[in-house]
Amino acid sequence: RLQPSSNLWTHAFGKSSSTLSSNTGTPLPPLGPIDKNATSTRVLLHDTQANLEKFSARVDALLNGFSEAKSEVKLVKTLFERDRETLMNDIIDLVNRCQTQIQKAVGSPAQSSVLDNFSRDVNLRLENLDKRLDAIQTV
């Protein structure tokens, strides 16, 4: 008779697994597995596969959530850029309208014609000085 090494095998073998026999007198095959190591390995492999499938499902859910978050970030970026462009266009239009209204109200400054004449006179005198300096240098 095999000696059970753990409670699991004790339960699997039962207390009287070697004494079981049929009514005809032939012994019945054992209820527990004969190769305990192979059975344990199979059970562990099935548990590992089940845990791996759970992990895979969680990873898939995480990746789906990541993809959704990425697409939403792109959407927010697009909406933000569109809103910024709209705001900038509104500000530019407002500034242009204000500038036009100010020019209408102020008109041309009173000193602008006087300053233009003064600028022409200064430029004319500077040109005359340049000609005199050129004449002095040639002598």
Q: What digits encode the pLDDT tens for the residues 23-41? A: 666 777 766 667 778 888 8
Q: Are residues 87 and 41 in the same domain?
A: yes
48 and 26 inside one domain? no
Quick one: 45 and 93 in the same domain? yes
pTM above 0.85?
no
For every residue of 47-82, which 3-state class applies, written as one string? Answer: HHHHHHHHHHHHHHHHHHHHHHHHHHHHHHHHHHHH
The domain containing residue 43 runs over which residues?
35-107
Same domain, 59 and 89: yes
Q: How many domains does the chain have?
A: 3
Q: Do 30 and 40 lie in a common domain?
A: no
Same domain for 50 and 25: no
Which range (1-10, 35-44, 128-137) has the least confidence?
1-10
**81 and 54 inside one domain:** yes
So what's the pLDDT on residue 34?
Answer: 74
Instruction: Looking at the structure, tell me whether residues 73 and 101 fall in a common domain.
Output: yes
4 and 64 fall within a common domain: no
For 61-102, what is each residue's pLDDT tens digit?
A: 999 999 999 999 999 999 999 999 999 999 999 999 999 998
